[in-house]
Amino acid sequence: MKPILLAAVAGICFVIACKNGKQSTSIKSAVRNPSFLNGAWQLNYITGPQITFDGLYPEKKPQLVFDVASSHISGNTSCNSFAGAVALSGNKLSIDQSLITTKMFCPGDGETVFLETLKKIQSWSAKDAATLELLMDETPMMRFTKVQ
């Protein structure tokens, strides 16, 4: 009885390991494919400020929307909307420094922190199918969750 139980446990572990290996491979493939970026992403982490994330964005979280086919990026800063060009090559990313933005008054520092950090971004990586990190050098500066 014990050998059968041991074989069953070993088989289950093998299946789980294979399944996790396939998921990891698909994420690695996504990092090389800019089409992974297509769609809307909501900010859930930003590096730098001394104030908490919820303090920077108390009511509405910033979003990015990528349209890879047209090399276009748009979104909101939690207050104002913006749009512009984005250059993509593999996991390298360069956002046009002259984004077009609306000009409503925005209380707090959230918008400034978001736009200044966005200017520093050089590349991106996928943590999983629903998590995007924007990087400066190899340092994660911003983290986003896919909007469903």
CATH of the domain at 65: 2.40.128.270
| Mean pLDDT value of segment 121-144 | 95
Residue 12 lies inside a defined structural domain of this protein: no
Residue 135 lies inside a defined structural domain of this protein: yes
pTM of the full structure: 0.79
Residue 137 lies inside a defined structural domain of this protein: yes
Residue 20 lies inside a defined structural domain of this protein: no
Beta strands per DSSP E along the chain: 39-46, 63-67, 72-76, 81-89, 92-95, 100-101, 123-128, 131-136, 139-146
Residue 72 — φ and ψ, nearest 5°?
A: -125, 140
C-alpha to C-alpha distance for 39 and 145, rounded to whole angstroms = 11
Residue 40 lies inside a defined structural domain of this protein: yes
C-alpha to C-alpha distance for 12 and 92, rounded to whole angstroms = 39
Residue 83 lies inside a defined structural domain of this protein: yes
pLDDT at 60 > cutoff 50:
yes
C-alpha to C-alpha distance for 95 and 98, rounded to whole angstroms = 9
Residue 18 lies inside a defined structural domain of this protein: no
pLDDT at 141 > cutoff 60:
yes
Give residue 77's domain range: 32-146
pLDDT at 10 > cutoff 80:
no
Number of domains the chain is built from: 1
Structure confidence by residue, pLDDT tens digits, 70-119: 999 999 999 999 999 999 999 999 999 889 999 999 999 999 999 999 99
Quick check: 66 and 41 in contact, CB under 8 A?
A: yes
Residue 3 lies inside a defined structural domain of this protein: no
- Position 7 confidence tier, pLDDT thresholds 50, 70, 90: very low
